[in-house]
Chain A
């Protein structure tokens, strides 16, 4: 293959290197009105009145909008429509938008926001799912505080428990996390010559944005056009509407250019977070390490509104077994409303949280049974034809054993040499493993993508791809697939990305789905084009079709390469003959919905697998953990762009280090990077990425996905390594200095006088 498996340069990187890419805040319009939001300072309150009179008296203030100015349906939400764009009867979290001010300059906008008078009547606020589920709790939403309950049951758990040699039961907790994209959410808008409201914003989800804004405004979808601006990271936070609805509302009423850039503080307060979770898990095993049963109860704090809460609770339940074959399963996962910030999608949709639990369980079992942690994973690892907790029989692309094999030499070396090597006094070394599986695409619901390809009159191939690229590199891999299918280089193609006015709907850039799903759609579209071109060329050249191939921008005879016809000639000919050279490819993975009472079904068409190993050094006196090395083996099916895959792995590991050791969003107090630390260059361990390719027959060129999987095993591996170092385990993330010290003390360290720390 010429273009698949090659690390071609990332498309769009050059513009970014030059500082010329237009991100959501880089408005190229003259004198746009500045939009600013008044946000609720109360976590839960009734709105008694909103008075904008005084604020409107400010010279620079042009307009102030509240819920009553929303002409369509004032309800948004990716799955469940439960969130007003602007609060009307009550507010449900600190930071909820209440009024939108449009002003001629920044200062007036700020003054306008300050002078809107809102009278609230406080309601009891609820900050934990436990309180929210209390029968006497105040309902945050009319339908109550339980957003969703997902059950996955299979086999006979009671029977398995009675037969088990060992049962391990623990409770784990993980905090809210902030995505911390370097670019704060931003966008701008203007009204086109034909009256279309054009919104240019940093987003992962342009077609959803378009539908949602149209519904808010009560206009035809075609009256709203959403174009993705250069987007400075997403990680799930830019799947929801952040600025798009407000820009749309202002455009609708004012018909003038506007811009809205959220401050970092607003991003912290008001964009979705990773769900905080409490996970109770009971795992039963035979004496030989074979897992017999898994039981789990997962409580997801979904905050004030649902966002992707249903999907997160469901995905957490489906993935709770980890990448292991377990015959008897009973999992219950609840998404619960509270007055905390909205929790939505964040890289992994609940799987990073459950992976912390199932991987800790694996190590506890291994230790109790006297089995090597790598071996117990191997014994139970999913393989082709394994049956999952939802009753799905896996296909042939299950690369977990290969990933374990790839990590093994590093693991043995770390355990046998590095761990015993010389070290500073009062430090301890540990080695830990983390494994994962991850279903590609949305869970048991339709999630189609359509891609369009055209050979234009000049003979140029133009790709119309609706998939938003937030830096992960989807555009690059999709273009490589087109190059491979059409036999022309990436430079010879034009690409239009994520513009609802031009590109078909490719669905959200989430769930690690674009390589697999849009990749398939794109290959189908390109094949249709190539078929037609070959047919036309066969007619023109008088050669059998089977003798012709597309190569280097020509249709060439395989036998006599000097006989060729260029794409430009074919385009001209097609035009003459009235043959269309525009094709759409469509792909929707084969899944079935999960049964509501048992959770049985086929939630994903394929899964990615991975295993990572962490080597850590723990300071027994201060609790500081230094991650020395991460070895990360990922089964991606086929790496279309190996450098891109490595980039995802390294970035995922960095996020995993943050999840393991430092990141914690505390509702009510976290507001800035001063109190929310993400890893810097100085916090990064050596990372050894290993690409495993267990080809997926239904994937484009065998590819699956890697975006989210990259992050998932890191924190479990680090926490297992800390436990290995201390001989004591931490059950709550992040493993802060305090928690590590506490575990160290529990383990009896530091043992003064011994000089060298444990082991």
Chain B
């Protein structure tokens, strides 16, 4: 494959069909953040160690810095921008605010999406499951406790309400 030749892909992004021409080596992070302008997708390390760039692809949380943009073809993609709805914040976002789970906020989008993927696959997870699911998302400010509380709380509120999205 010619590394300079662009590939045409289409995928659903936050509920909307999008089309893009991507280079074979381009990361999903680069496409979403730099070219599609989704600034909520954060880069923290670029090598899959910090989780700041986490997005949800076909119900799974992935590090968008480690995924190729071309791999998004045909997928359903969710970023933090797609969490809220016209009527308001997503229960996860509300729970993060209520539990003071946000300090600097740089890890927040990734945390929200890792939590989201966990909840849609596990329903109301246990504390241990939450901790395990978030262990790939680094936070330097909060000490994590408030985040785990928020996820647990949100999971209860979300119970069964996210099916429509997928």
Interface residues of A (CB under 8 A from B): 7, 9-10, 12-23, 25-26, 179-184, 230-233, 235, 263-264, 470-473, 643-644, 646-647, 649-655, 672-674, 678, 680-682, 684, 687
**Distance of A437 Cα from B132 Cα, bound (Å):** 35
Chain B residues closer than 8 Å to A230, beta-carbon distance: 104-105
* Among candidates A10, A263, A654, residue contacting B100 with C-beta atoms closer than 8 Å: A10
* Among candidates A183, A235, A680, residue contacting B42 with C-beta atoms closer than 8 Å: A183
* Among candidates B80, B139, B145, B147, residue contacting A18 with C-beta atoms closer than 8 Å: B80
B147 engages A16 (CB within 8 Å): no
* Among candidates B47, B96, B98, residue contacting A674 with C-beta atoms closer than 8 Å: B47
* Residue from A19, A25, A263, A674 with most neighbouring chain B CB atoms (10 Å): A19
Within 8 A of A (CB), among B98-130: 98, 100, 102-109, 112, 130
Task: Let me know if B11 is at the binding interface, CB within 8 A.
Answer: no
Nearest Cβ on chain B to A187's Cβ, whole angstroms: 14
Chain A residues closer than 8 Å to B112, beta-carbon distance: 17
**Binary contact track B42-55/A, C-beta < 8 Å → 1, others 0:** 11111101101000
* Among candidates A18, A26, A180, A654, residue contacting B144 with C-beta atoms closer than 8 Å: A654
A650 engages B138 (CB within 8 Å): no
Other than A17-B108, A179-B140, give 5 A-B pairs with Cβ distance below 8 A.
Answer: A17-B97, A470-B104, A471-B105, A647-B143, A684-B145
A682 engages B104 (CB within 8 Å): no
B49 engages A17 (CB within 8 Å): no
* Among candidates A16, A235, A682, residue contacting B102 with C-beta atoms closer than 8 Å: A16
A673 engages B50 (CB within 8 Å): yes
* Among candidates A23, A655, A687, residue contacting B140 with C-beta atoms closer than 8 Å: A655
A682 engages B132 (CB within 8 Å): yes
Chain A residues closer than 8 Å to B50, beta-carbon distance: 182, 264, 673
**Distance of A334 Cα from B136 Cα, bound (Å):** 39
Which partner residue on chain B sits nearest A656 by CB separation?
B143
A16 engages B105 (CB within 8 Å): yes
Which partner residue on chain A sits nearest B38 by CB separation?
A19
Given A17-B97, A682-B132, A687-B143; A673-B138 close (CB under 8 Å): yes
**Distance of A25 Cα from B83 Cα, bound (Å):** 22
B109 engages A23 (CB within 8 Å): no
A654 engages B143 (CB within 8 Å): yes
Which partner residue on chain B sits nearest A643 by CB separation?
B100
Chain B residues closer than 8 Å to A233, beta-carbon distance: 103-104, 106, 140-141
B106 engages A182 (CB within 8 Å): yes
Nearest Cβ on chain A to B157's Cβ, whole angstroms: 15
26 interchain pairs, CB-CB under 8 A:
A9-B100, A14-B97, A17-B108, A17-B112, A18-B81, A18-B89, A19-B79, A19-B81, A23-B106, A182-B107, A182-B140, A233-B141, A471-B105, A647-B143, A651-B103, A674-B47, A678-B140, A680-B138, A680-B144, A681-B130, A681-B137, A681-B144, A682-B132, A684-B143, A687-B143, A687-B145
Task: Let me know if B64 is at the binding interface, CB within 8 A.
Answer: no
Task: Let me know if B39 is at the binding interface, CB within 8 A.
Answer: yes
Which partner residue on chain A sits nearest B144 by CB separation?
A681
Chain A residues closer than 8 Å to B102, beta-carbon distance: 10, 13, 16-17
Nearest Cβ on chain A to B144's Cβ, whole angstroms: 4
* Among candidates A17, A644, A651, residue contacting B143 with C-beta atoms closer than 8 Å: A651
Nearest Cβ on chain A to B48's Cβ, whole angstroms: 9
Chain B residues closer than 8 Å to A643, beta-carbon distance: 100
A-B contact count (CB 8 A): 167
**Distance of A752 Cα from B101 Cα, bound (Å):** 46
Within 8 A of A (CB), among B58-114: 79-81, 83-84, 89, 93, 96-98, 100, 102-109, 112
A232 engages B106 (CB within 8 Å): yes
Given A9-B97, A19-B108, A181-B104; A684-B80 close (CB under 8 Å): no
**Distance of A9 Cα from B136 Cα, bound (Å):** 27
* Among candidates B40, B135, B140, B148, residue contacting A651 with C-beta atoms closer than 8 Å: B140
Given A14-B97, A18-B93; A180-B105 close (CB under 8 Å): no
Nearest Cβ on chain B to A513's Cβ, whole angstroms: 18
* Among candidates B42, B130, B138, B147, residue contacting A678 with C-beta atoms closer than 8 Å: B138
Chain A residues closer than 8 Å to B148, beta-carbon distance: 681
* Among candidates B81, B84, B103, residue contacting A471 with C-beta atoms closer than 8 Å: B103
A650 engages B145 (CB within 8 Å): yes
A17 engages B89 (CB within 8 Å): yes
Chain B residues closer than 8 Å to A19, beta-carbon distance: 38-41, 79-81, 108-109
**Distance of A310 Cα from B2 Cα, bound (Å):** 55
A681 engages B147 (CB within 8 Å): yes
Which partner residue on chain A sits nearest B44 by CB separation?
A182
A183 engages B103 (CB within 8 Å): no
A473 engages B103 (CB within 8 Å): yes
Chain B residues closer than 8 Å to A644, beta-carbon distance: 100
Task: Let me know if B134 is at the binding interface, CB within 8 A.
Answer: yes
Given A651-B103, A653-B143, A684-B145; A264-B80 close (CB under 8 Å): no
* Residue from A7, A646, A649 with most neighbouring chain B CB atoms (10 Å): A646
Chain A residues closer than 8 Å to B138, beta-carbon distance: 180, 182, 673, 678, 680
Nearest Cβ on chain A to B127's Cβ, whole angstroms: 10
**Distance of A757 Cα from B87 Cα, bound (Å):** 59
B45 engages A673 (CB within 8 Å): yes
